[in-house]
């Protein structure tokens, strides 16, 4: 669903833009009425919204009331010149693109314009294709900047996107059918399930099968962000709105424009940020921290949590209205212990995929070793299974002692392998904790589960 444009200012023209044109708001600042009308008529049919102003002062008033992505700015203006105003805008933190136009220019003027932060420089008189190409060039630069940011963001998280939706259990077959249906609608999606069950993989599959597949997929781990900086990270912030911020900054909503924003561990959002997120979902606009401007957004939201959000709502830790807004489509992922039919397929997939990536021979897995894998409860789910296969490839053999350290070294190993699985899980987790001197953060990382899940398991055993 496309964002609804705000009411136009006097001297502005909103218009639906044709396919392939940027969903941008443009401000034309020129003291010649003929040039303003020429650009207004040329751009209005193609762009989201076009505003006009006759001076830097009028342009500044427009920027206080409207979000603007690009400015077409005449150098020769009454009062403050275009170059001087551009320099002032950059100092104030304006990050949009600026195309300077002038009828009187020399090399020195062009250099001054570029130093002031101009994106392009066009001499009057010019034809419509010239200005359109300059705008498209700015739009392409913005698209590449977003894509580069998303790529760096994804690589910094070291996300493995290759697990896919593997398995032939009745649950996985039903899940694939649900994903195929849900992908084609633009509704918000809530993914629930334990850590390691593949919530992000499902979100990526939904994105890749959706009409937004050519847009960015921006994953955000809400649990890893500082609560104080979370709102600015999501929605952006104006210059000096955040302590130590010397420049304005775009938020993750901006980088997800036209695509999908995936909010992992959404239950970690503070209530104040939950309110801002709800407004963004309802109004399709965001307000950067410290700014009075509303910025239109065109983003599909997917959220995930390993908590029971109904319980979080009942406890007052999660907004009820946001819960129902996110839960338009609700997909709950089963833990691996409840779909053991998929373990053999996952082992084969991880074995082949990781061996190819690492340039190693695949592991030879015996029937008895597979039996151990089938009986284990996998508290870290598919992520823990993948980590086991990767460690075993590095060591050169499938080391089931990493799961059943006590059992495989015991004379009655075959009998111990069939004992209570919860007891074996406890033994395994305790052995990992012992190996890292009780460091729960490190143990959780090795197990492939969250620290919160590990602490919950330990609390359950302490109360038993």
Cα separation, 311 vs 332, whole angstroms: 15
Q: Are 99 and 132 in contact (CB under 8 A)?
A: no
Per-residue pLDDT band at 406 (split at 50, 70, 90): very low
Look at residue 430 in the predicted model and tell me its pLDDT.
Answer: 81
Cα separation, 169 vs 94, whole angstroms: 53
Look at residue 463 in the predicted model and tell me its pLDDT.
Answer: 66
Assigned fold of 12-142: Rossmann fold (3.40.50)
Look at residue 161 in the predicted model and tell me its pLDDT.
Answer: 43
**Residue 115 CA neighbour count, 13 Å, CB half:** 7
Please state the rounded mean pLDDT for residues 331-340.
93
Q: Indicate whether 155 pLDDT > 80.
A: no
Assigned fold of 159-334: Rossmann fold (3.40.50)
| Better-scored residue on pLDDT, 307 or 449 | 307
Look at residue 153 in the predicted model and tell me its pLDDT.
Answer: 56
Q: Are 59 and 25 in contact (CB under 8 A)?
A: no
Look at residue 202 in the predicted model and tell me its pLDDT.
Answer: 93
Dihedral, CA atoms, 43, 47, 50, 55, nearest 10 degrees? -70
Look at residue 317 in the predicted model and tell me its pLDDT.
Answer: 94
Lowest-pLDDT range of 26-40, 117-131, 422-436: 422-436
Instruction: Please check whether the two domains, 12-142 and 159-334, share a CATH topology.
Output: yes
Q: What is the pLDDT of residues 14-41, one digit of tens each?
A: 444 455 566 788 999 999 999 999 999 9
Q: What is the pLDDT of residues 309-329, one digit of tens each?
A: 999 999 999 999 999 999 999
| Better-scored residue on pLDDT, 132 or 411 | 132
| Residue 125 CB-density burial (10 A; 0-12 exposed, 13-18 middle, 19+ buried) | exposed
Please state the rounded mean pLDDT for residues 333-362.
91
70-74/97-102 β-pairing:
parallel
Look at residue 422 in the predicted model and tell me its pLDDT.
Answer: 59
295-296/260-264 β-pairing:
unpaired
Q: Indicate whether 154 pLDDT > 80.
A: no
Look at residue 214 in the predicted model and tell me its pLDDT.
Answer: 87
Q: Indicate whether 45 pLDDT > 80.
A: yes
Exposure letters 420-436 (e unless 16+ CB within 10 A, then b): eeeebbbbbbebbbeee
Sign of CA dihedral 330, 331, 334, 335: negative
Look at residue 414 in the predicted model and tell me its pLDDT.
Answer: 40
The structure's pTM equals 0.63
Q: What is the mean pLDDT of the chain?
A: 81
Please state the rounded mean pLDDT for residues 163-177.
84
Can you give the residue ranges of every domain in the chain? Answer: 12-142, 159-334, 340-463
Q: What is the pLDDT of residues 256-303, one digit of tens each?
A: 988 999 999 999 999 999 999 999 999 899 988 888 788 888 999 999
Q: Are 12 and 52 in contact (CB under 8 A)?
A: yes
Q: Which one, of 434, 460, 452, 450, lies nearest residue 383 by Cα?
A: 450
Q: Indicate whether 332 pLDDT > 70.
A: yes
Exposure letters 156-191 (e unless 16+ CB within 10 A, then b): eeeeeeebeebbebebbeebeeebeebbeeeebbbb
| Better-scored residue on pLDDT, 426 or 196 | 196
Q: Indicate whether 464 pLDDT > 70.
A: no
Look at residue 371 in the predicted model and tell me its pLDDT.
Answer: 85
């Amino acid at each position: 669903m496309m964002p609804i444009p705000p009411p136009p200012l006097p001297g502005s023209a909103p218009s639906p833009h044709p396919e392939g044109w940027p969903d941008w708001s443009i401000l034309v600042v020129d003291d010649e009425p003929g040039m303003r009308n020429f650009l207004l008529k040329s751009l209005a049919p193609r762009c989201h919204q076009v505003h006009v102003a006759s001076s830097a002062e009028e342009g500044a008033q427009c920027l206080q009331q409207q979000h603007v992505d690009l400015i077409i700015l005449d150098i020769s203006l009454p009062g403050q010149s275009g170059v001087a105003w551009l320099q002032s805008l950059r100092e104030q933190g304006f990050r949009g693109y600026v195309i300077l136009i002038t009828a009187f220019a020399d090399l020195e003027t062009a250099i001054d314009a570029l130093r002031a932060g101009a994106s392009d420089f066009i001499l009057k008189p010019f034809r419509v294709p010239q200005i359109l190409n300059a705008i498209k060039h700015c739009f392409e630069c913005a698209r590449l900047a977003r894509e580069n940011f998303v790529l760096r963001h994804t690589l910094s998280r070291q996300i493995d996107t290759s697990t896919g939706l593997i398995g032939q259990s009745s649950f996985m077959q039903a899940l694939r059918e649900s994903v195929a249906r849900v992908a084609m609608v633009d509704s918000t999606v809530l993914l629930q399930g334990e850590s390691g069950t593949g919530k992000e993989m499902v979100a990526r599959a939904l994105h890749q099968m959706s009409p937004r597949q050519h847009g960015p997929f921006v994953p955000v781990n809400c649990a890893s962000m500082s609560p104080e900086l979370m709102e600015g990270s999501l929605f952006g912030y104006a210059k000096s709105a955040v302590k130590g911020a010397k420049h304005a900054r775009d938020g993750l909503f901006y980088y997800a424009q036209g695509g999908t924003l995936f909010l992992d561990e959404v239950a970690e959002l503070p209530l104040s940020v939950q309110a801002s997120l709800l407004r963004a979902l309802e109004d399709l606009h965001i307000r950067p921290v410290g700014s009075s401007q509303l910025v239109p957004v065109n983003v599909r939201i997917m959220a995930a949590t390993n908590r029971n959000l109904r319980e979080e709502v009942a406890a007052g830790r999660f907004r009820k209205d946001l819960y129902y807004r996110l839960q338009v489509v609700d997909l709950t992922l089963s833990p691996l212990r409840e779909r053991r039919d998929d373990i053999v397929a996952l082992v084969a997939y991880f074995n082949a995929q990781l061996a190819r990536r690492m340039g190693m021979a695949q592991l030879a897995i015996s029937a008895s070793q597979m039996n151990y894998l089938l009986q284990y409860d996998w508290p870290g789910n598919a992520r823990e299974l993948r980590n086991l296969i990767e460690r075993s490839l590095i060591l050169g053999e499938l080391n089931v002692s990493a799961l059943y350290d006590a059992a495989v070294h015991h004379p009655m190993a075959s009998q111990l392998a069939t004992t209570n699985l919860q007891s074996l899980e406890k033994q395994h987790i305790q052995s990992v904790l012992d190996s890292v001197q009780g460091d729960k953060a490190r143990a959780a990382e090795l197990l492939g589960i969250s620290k919160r899940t590990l602490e919950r398991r330990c609390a359950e055993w302490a109360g038993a």
